[in-house]
Copies of this chain bind each other. A is one copy, B any other.
Amino acid sequence: MPVVDAHTEELIKETAMRIFFVEGRLHATTQVIAKEAGVNRGLIYYYFKGRDELFEVVFKEAVAVSRKRIRELFNSKEISFREKIREFVELSIEQHLKYPYREMFMVTEINRDGSNMSMLTDPGGELRNEMLHSISEGLKEEIKNGHVPKMSAEQFIINTLSLCAYPALYKPMLQQTIKMDELAYLKMMQERKQLIMKVLFKDI
């Protein structure tokens, strides 16, 4: 996360993001965040009204990124369906390597006791329709050609997201249980960019 010479407010926000999204320390307190940002804890209350607002800002940022990625996937440039997916997979892997726990932060915050994460909900299901509509033609074509097994657009999206995101979340388990080291892990993740395409499309 770029932190060089940032203004304090930005510094706090980005430190929080690093702790949550990169290091996956989802229980981190204002203490910890302030300390790691190298600023007085009071500044969290100066720039943000308090802990909850900081969390909300960080959360909203995550939602924005997530939406942006989905939009980028579906708001088609003039490239083929398959190339669109390839681009998404590569970008996605890069993103999950950088911020493996971003989505997990969102989930745990949604699950939190007194959470009011209504900003997530897609007003009229616009995003949903946009998404599914944009993908379904290309997907249907691939299915017809026998290059993708018969499935709904939802399932295809979930498969793609799963194959990109989960290995990032699972990293600590891989390292602890099968002693995969940092280098092997990175190599594996790079390989996945090609591999996921081969798994999604039978003819590659």
Q: List residues of A whose CB falls within 8 A of some B CB.
A: 23-27, 32, 66, 101, 103-104, 106-108, 110-113, 117, 120-122, 125, 127-128, 131, 149, 151-152, 154-155, 158-159, 161-163, 165-167, 169-170, 172-174, 176-180, 188, 191-192, 195, 198-200, 202, 204
Tell me if B111 and A177 are in contact (CB < 8 A): no
The distance from the CB of A117 to the nearest CB of chain B, in whole angstroms, is 7
Closest to A189 in B: B158
Copies of this chain, tallied across the complex: 2
Bound CA–CA A23/B107 (angstroms): 11
Q: Are B177 and A27 in contact, CB atoms less than 8 angstroms apart?
A: no
Given A26-B111, A107-B172, A173-B103: A161 touches B155 (CB 8 Å cut-off): no
CB-CB nearest in chain B for A32: B113
Tell me the complex Cα distance, A128–B173, Å.
Answer: 12
Residue numbers in B under 8 Å from A25 (CB-CB)? 111-113
Contact present for B177 and A121 (CB under 8 Å): yes
**Contact status B104-A169, CB under 8 Å:** yes
- The answer to whether A167 and B177 have CB atoms under 8 Å apart is no
Residues of B within 8 A of A110 (CB): 172-173, 176
